[in-house]
Amino acid sequence: MIDIKKECRICHSSELTQFHSFGEMPIVNAYLKKQDLEKPEYKYPLAVGFCRDCKMVQLMIMPPYDTYIIPDENGKTHYSYVSSTSQRMVQHFNELAKEVERRFLDNSSKVVDIGGNDGILLKTYKKRENVLNIEPSDNVADVARASGIESVSDFFSEGLARRLVKEKGKFKVIHTNNVFLNIANMDDFLKGINHMLEDKGVFISEDPYLLDILSNKAYDQIYEAHGCFFSISSLSRLFEKHNMEIFDAEHQWVHGGSMRIYVSKKGRYDITGRPLGYLEREKERGIESLESFLDFSNDIRENRGEMRGLLKGLKMAGKRLVGYGAAAKGVMVQNYCKIGPDILDYISDSTPEKQGMFTPGMHIPIVHPDIFHEDKEVDYAVLFPWNHAREIIEKERDFFKRGGKFIVHLPHPRILELED
């Protein structure tokens, strides 16, 4: 059993207060083979809290990486999410690379992406010989290498940063995208960033934004790998500890609403008005008050009741339901709302590594999209990657034409119409 310690991982204060518990949960990306269904699954107590001192929202515990990043028989680590499967994300990162090249780079500048997956961002940079991917999962790092992106299969740390600087020198830009919130030891990580950056280097990080999580009631962002949930307010305190500052910020649509921050060593860049504007909005929303998160906890419980009621009602009416997208968010929702194979016959997913597997905890079979496309008896498909709803609806217009409808769980459970 893992002990839940009431100490903030960021500032080490004893003022960390739990505001919601999800109970025992499986690792969201620990998909099972059929022969493993009868074996015990690793589960842990998932709870989230608020630090009254540094204002960081965080998991009460983070399971060790070795509970969910496990080498195969050949010693290779595998990760089930491949970034480039979404064309909208490809376009998003293409626009980001162009912006960074325009604002910060010259012909000799070096760029590193920490947790760069299959190289989705680095592939868009013009000078590939000056980019480096640090990706701990061997399978997606191999995909990046195959496209000409130099990749290091390791977890980022201060030690790795010092080794790479000796080998390659300092870097002008360091990226993380939906990665910084995964870091268990923030102090070690930022010491590595600080050492690796040039004097006027820029750390550009993009993660789910806490205000959007509250507004969308997006509790599906809360699972074992997401250790912290960021506001400009809490991040500013964190960077202050490391003599760094946010000099620019820009809200993004990805992952249901994210914040892109531009960070440097103190005093290297003029601070734009945007971070201050976001801080004002956060203050108005009560982001530094525990009461806001107690209200969020009530929203989470209400959402679960509404989702279970909607699906059970359709099932009792004789409707046939399946899932669409075996996303980590979906596994979170399935387990919290107790949505199993008694409700969903299967989940359609385009990722080859997931097909033929079963979802963690609820054990719903995952199938190739062709099965979904050929299945004319489906009445409703629960769209778990709700943040990609527009892209998916456009792609699956035939499903609507034959009478099918999608269901999303956020910001409240509802049946989508085609024009949505």
CATH for 123: 3.40.50.150
pLDDT digits (tens, 9 = 90+) for 28-71: 989 999 999 999 999 999 999 999 999 999 999 998 776 656 55
* In the chain, % of residues over pLDDT 70: 93
What is the residue whose two structure tokens read 């399935």? 334
Task: Check whether the bond before 208 is cis (ω within 30° of 0).
Answer: no
The pLDDT value recorded for residue 137 is 85
Contact status, residue 191 vs residue 158, Cβ threshold 8 Å: yes
Question: What is the C-alpha separation between 306 and 302, in angstroms, rounded?
Answer: 6
Edge to edge, the sheet with strand 171-177 lists: 151-152, 131-134, 111-114, 171-177, 197-208, 258-265, 244-252
**What is the number of domains present in the chain?**
2
The pLDDT value recorded for residue 333 is 97
353 compared with 160, residue with greater pLDDT: 160
The pLDDT value recorded for residue 214 is 97
pLDDT digits (tens, 9 = 90+) for 358-417: 999 999 999 999 999 999 999 999 999 988 888 899 899 999 999 999 999 999 999 997
Would you say residue 322 lies in a domain? yes
Would you say residue 393 lies in a domain? yes
pLDDT digits (tens, 9 = 90+) for 229-268: 999 999 999 999 999 999 999 999 888 899 999 999 999 9
pLDDT digits (tens, 9 = 90+) for 311-345: 999 999 999 999 999 999 999 999 999 999 999 99
* In the chain, % of residues over pLDDT 90: 82
Say if residue 199's pLDDT is above 90.
Answer: yes
Would you say residue 22 lies in a domain? no
Would you say residue 251 lies in a domain? yes
Please tell me whether residues 389 and 261 are part of one structural domain.
Answer: no
Please tell me whether residues 174 and 247 are part of one structural domain.
Answer: yes
Please tell me whether residues 410 and 373 are part of one structural domain.
Answer: yes
Please tell me whether residues 161 and 108 are part of one structural domain.
Answer: yes
What is the CATH classification number for the domain harbouring 393? 3.40.50.720
Q: What is the mean pLDDT of residues 159-181?
A: 97
Please tell me whether residues 273 and 380 are part of one structural domain.
Answer: no
Would you say residue 212 lies in a domain? yes
Question: What is the C-alpha separation between 158 and 235, in angstroms, rounded?
Answer: 19
Cα angle 286-289-293, degrees, rounded to a multiple of 5? 90
Edge to edge, the sheet with strand 228-229 lists: 16-26, 43-51, 57-59, 228-229
Please tell me whether residues 144 and 271 are part of one structural domain.
Answer: yes
Say if residue 420's pLDDT is above 60.
Answer: no
Would you say residue 23 lies in a domain? no
Please tell me whether residues 144 and 195 are part of one structural domain.
Answer: yes
Please tell me whether residues 281 and 357 are part of one structural domain.
Answer: no
Please tell me whether residues 139 and 280 are part of one structural domain.
Answer: yes
Q: What is the mean pLDDT of residues 289-293?
A: 97
Per DSSP (E only), the strands in 228-352 are 228-229, 244-252, 258-265, 321-324, 347-348
Please tell me whether residues 225 and 129 are part of one structural domain.
Answer: yes
Say if residue 75's pLDDT is above 70.
Answer: no
Would you say residue 14 lies in a domain? no
Whole domain around residue 108: which residue ranges?
Answer: 83-291
Would you say residue 24 lies in a domain? no
The pLDDT value recorded for residue 1 is 43
Domain boundary among 265, 291, 317: 291
87 confidence band (pLDDT: 50, 70, 90): confident
Question: What is the C-alpha separation between 263 and 248, in angstroms, rounded?
Answer: 7
Please tell me whether residues 241 and 352 are part of one structural domain.
Answer: no
Report the greatest alpha carbon distance in the chain.
66
Domain boundary among 291, 322, 343: 291
Please tell me whether residues 267 and 362 are part of one structural domain.
Answer: no
Domain boundary among 291, 318, 343: 291
Calculate Rg over the CA atoms of the chain.
21
Q: CB-based burial of residue 368 (10 Å sphere; 0-12 exposed, 13-18 middle, 19+ buried)?
A: middle
